[in-house]
Structure 1
């Protein structure tokens, strides 16, 4: 059990850039910039967006473009990817893109990397044209990417320009022990996707710490856990707002693509017993309620895991209510410098 308090650690945002029912991607981008500006003011550490493709309700497919847009409309919060799905891209291209971002916004860009496709197999084929690349190449690609962003090497046959010398920090993302071990071996900070894949959280954190080897980027292990939070002024309001999150995850379980749905008074009739069980298992680390309720549950989560930072996904339909949820959370945590 950890003795850390929420006020000892920073808090960050994972924004999936949801497209709301009846709204457009353009509306989503406006909401994303507005949320980023608010959480920067409230002292959040970083603002990450994730690469997803072929999802009707997610507008973050061109993640690099959005990172630049958010960084350009904020002043100090770190902005990054949670993550870039590296198998979809050549390491050199990613290095050039993030090298450009790191040059435009020095010391503000994070490059989180994942090895999943971030989509279905048909879309993965459309992205890559080839699904035969073995997963064993992922570690080599991470090292290649790190080298491109590392110290300038005039003798290198291939150089990332811009990119080399920017030392944009790499993060390893994961929902299993594979990414945890790789992060440890390479001496990278690690972020676990416990907001949708909670089952291996504790095992992954243990593997990460046990396998950690200091690197030029990081001397001690540093772990983030991502969780879902819906906070409101009352428990009842938060429970109502959280039905949007449950509906979103029903779509995940069913493999159906829908825009983000407004909250409903009751989930009865919207899911069967098996779907309800599956969604509740995926959302094990979701904290819903008033400030007092959420603070108590998140403190217990921190004591259980001992993570160094908590990242929050807030699946709330109404933008004002979403802002309020993040505003409530801000009061629990250490403010970013």
Structure 2
């Protein structure tokens, strides 16, 4: 069977646009996913990044949920060491109460920011060390089985808020397996340990109340268009912009030409940056389908979470639609 499909929406703020534009684009993308058969749309917690508008992740989830009908929405993820588990339980209990049966909670332990921003968040550098205990504390609040005497999360939704462990290393794989939770690997930007991590997760998985069998979600990037050349052009434009954002960070007023960006990407440092997006499907719907099916098989993935990166929202929405249609057709053929 072809894998289930979901979307990771980075809530990007394109040059010349505002955060409000980004939020409306997120609604448009979620609506496209909803009518194209996707399972869910997730948003990631990032801070101090001028091109990403999903820092207040739970607020964005609520806004998109209010403007869609039935697609699942969630965090991919909340960087739990930035927060107290009680606050996250309250936020996602509220979301599940407002939008029952539609809310997911993916959890990561990275800061989602740089060191200065981490300090501004009042985060202790050692807070990641208690991530496993924090996941259990959060799980207790959400299930009504608090591990802290006399403390409960209000509101606590009647429905279940399923937890997912996010990661890009063996740590997350081992923790997800131990807790019997689904595991989502960030292979869309950190591809190196994908196969080893998913193998470890499946080998060590212990069934839980939430999950009887292992479930793997793997990330990939997508540029789908009517023609291969159009998709390739979208990729070139988007990845140049991504490279600019990386090398300009903290260097206001500096700009780089396309030729300078291309020269950097051909350098050793640039090749390392380019390798982060190793798993990228580019081309016509047929080409994208073949790539994603091979990728899912290689990664032992039950579900793919796709980041559609075209700069223009019209192109991103079309990429979502084309990919959804061709994968749905593949599933119908198998059935």
Among 292, 305, 312, which residue is 1:318 paired with?
312
Matched residue, 2:75: 81
CA change 1:310–1:132 in 2 (3 A) is: closer
Matched residue, 1:67: 61
RCO (CA 8 Å, sep 6+): is it higher in 1 or 2? 1
The alpha carbon displacement at 1:266 in A equals 10
TM-score by length of 1: 0.90
Say yes or no: does 1:112 pair with 2:106.
yes
Whether the aligned pair in 2 keeps the contact of 1:195 and 1:283 (CA below 8 Å) is: yes
Gaps of 5+ in 1: none
Among 178, 190, 197, which residue is 1:204 paired with?
197
Map 1:258-269 onto structure 2 (within 5 A): 268-269=262-263
Whether the aligned pair in 1 keeps the contact of 2:240 and 2:262 (CA below 8 Å) is: no
Q: Distance in 2 between matches of 1:288 and 1:223?
A: 23
Q: Distance in 1 between matches of 2:136 and 2:292?
A: 35
Among 211, 233, 237, which residue is 1:240 paired with?
233
Matched residue, 1:138: 131
Say yes or no: does 1:97 pair with 2:91.
yes
Whether the aligned pair in 2 keeps the contact of 1:10 and 1:44 (CA below 8 Å) is: yes
The alpha carbon displacement at 1:35 in A equals 1.0
Matched residue, 1:51: 45
When structure 1 is superposed on structure 2, of 160-169 and 46-55 the one drifting more is 160-169
CA change 1:48–1:258 in 2 (3 A) is: farther
Whether the aligned pair in 2 keeps the contact of 1:152 and 1:164 (CA below 8 Å) is: no
The alpha carbon displacement at 1:264 in A equals 6.8
The alpha carbon displacement at 1:205 in A equals 0.2
Matched residue, 1:279: 273
SS at match of 1:144: helix
SS at match of 1:136: helix
TM-score by length of 2: 0.91
Gaps of 5+ in 2: none
TM-align CA RMSD: 2.5
The alpha carbon displacement at 1:276 in A equals 3.6
Whether the aligned pair in 2 keeps the contact of 1:151 and 1:164 (CA below 8 Å) is: no
Whether the aligned pair in 2 keeps the contact of 1:240 and 1:265 (CA below 8 Å) is: no
Say yes or no: does 1:223 pair with 2:204.
no
SS at match of 2:326: coil
Among 8, 19, 25, which residue is 1:25 paired with?
19
The alpha carbon displacement at 1:255 in A equals 6.5
CA change 1:329–1:154 in 2 (3 A) is: closer
Q: Distance in 1 between matches of 2:108 and 2:278?
A: 22
Q: Distance in 2 between matches of 1:254 and 1:34?
A: 30
Whether the aligned pair in 2 keeps the contact of 1:94 and 1:145 (CA below 8 Å) is: yes
Map 1:243-258 onto structure 2 (within 5 A): 243-251=236-244, 254=247, 256=249
Q: Distance in 1 between matches of 2:34 and 2:292?
A: 21
Q: Deviations over 1:50-90 (max 9, x none)?
A: 00000010000000000001111111100000000000000
When structure 1 is superposed on structure 2, of 119-128 and 149-158 the one drifting more is 149-158
Higher helix share: 2
The alpha carbon displacement at 1:306 in A equals 2.2
Q: Distance in 1 between matches of 2:10 and 2:286?
A: 26
The alpha carbon displacement at 1:190 in A equals 0.7
Matched residue, 2:140: 147
When structure 1 is superposed on structure 2, of 135-144 and 250-259 the one drifting more is 250-259
SS at match of 2:327: coil
SS at match of 1:242: helix
Count of residues in correspondence between the two structures: 327
Matched residue, 1:158: 151
